[in-house]
Amino acid sequence: MTVQVNVHEAKTQLSRLIEAVLAGEQVTIARAGKPVVDLVIHHADIVCFGVDGWSQRSVDPAIFDGTDDDIQQLFLGV
């Protein structure tokens, strides 16, 4: 069910409108009878470190041990 309210009503009834959205209703705020914005539930961003699907893969740590002489020369000049 979609509920449409004007800006003035939205300002005075914001808490009730938030509860309606959390309960699954769609709320649209209108200006002069024309819809301008919808209230929606905020979804936090999910941060993924690494690559999905690689959690079951094993990595040989010997590959990453030590420094590469060519890289040291290029970046550090040593």
**Who contacts 27 (Cβ-Cβ below 8 Å, separation ≥6)?**
2, 3, 4, 5, 17, 20, 21, 38, 39
pLDDT value of position 28: 97
Residue in this structure with the two tokens 């420094």, named with its chain if needed: 67
Q: What is the DSSP letter of 68?
A: -
Q: What count of Cα atoms within 13 Å lies in the side-chain half-sphere of residue 14?
A: 4
pLDDT value of position 9: 96
pLDDT value of position 70: 85
Local confidence pLDDT in tens for the 78 residues of the chain: 789 999 999 999 999 999 999 999 999 999 999 999 999 999 988 877 667 766 777 777 777 767 788 888 888 886
pLDDT value of position 69: 83
Q: Please state whether the predicted TM-score (pTM) of the whole model is above 0.85.
A: no
Q: Does domain 2-39 have CATH number 3.30.70.250?
A: no
Give residue limits of the domains in the chain.
2-39
- Report the alpha-carbon distance of residue 38 to residue 26 in Å, rounded: 7
